[in-house]
Structure formats: structure tokens, C-alpha cells
């Protein structure tokens, strides 16, 4: 079962995306357009890794994510 918790004062999805793009850009020394491509790749990889699309049935725990 999956739960989502929304708390006031937390960044919305657009703000989170902007933060991630800025961090990717800084980390790799690239412009924001290139960072968008990396973020899209990471997003797709995470969606596959965290779902049954990858064909492996195991729990995705915080420890595994870390």
C-alpha cells in the first residue's frame, strides 16, 4: 500500500523539479537543458526500478534506495 502525505509549506512538484534540475546542473557542471535530459533519464529509471516492470519481485526499502 502506498501513502502520500501533503504538508503545508513543502515545495510543490514544480518547485521540486526546479530544485532537482539546479542540483543536477551544479553537480555535473552542465546547463539546465542538459540537466532536464538527465532528470528525465533518472525519472524513467526510477519508475522501472521501483515497479514490477523490471521483473524482479522484492521490496524497495529505504535502505535499498539509499
Residue 10 is predicted with a pLDDT of 80
Tell me: pLDDT of 1 over 80: no
Q: What is the CA radius of gyration of the chain?
A: 14
| Structure confidence by residue, pLDDT tens digits, 23-66 | 999 999 999 999 999 999 999 888 887 777 777 777 777 787 66
Q: Which grid cell sits at 45?
A: 529509471
| Structure confidence by residue, pLDDT tens digits, 7-28 | 788 888 899 999 999 999 999 9
Contacts of residue 32, defined as CB under 8 A and 6 or more positions apart, other chains included, come to 21, 22, 25
In whole angstroms, how far apart are CA 2 and each of 29, 60, 61?
A: 35, 12, 13
Cα-based torsion angle of the residue sequence 50, 61, 4, 53 in order, rounded to the nearest 10 degrees: 10
CB-CB contact of 32 with 26 (8 Å) = no
Residue 41 is predicted with a pLDDT of 94
Amino acid at each position: 500500500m502506498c501513502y502520500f502525505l501533503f504538508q503545508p509549506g513543502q515545495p510543490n512538484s514544480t518547485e521540486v523539479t526546479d530544485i532537482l534540475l539546479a542540483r543536477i546542473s551544479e553537480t555535473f557542471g552542465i546547463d539546465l537543458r542538459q540537466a532536464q535530459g538527465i532528470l528525465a533519464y533518472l525519472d524513467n529509471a526510477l519508475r522501472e526500478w521501483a515497479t514490477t516492470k523490471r521483473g524482479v519481485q522484492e521490496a524497495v526499502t529505504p535502505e535499498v534506495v539509499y
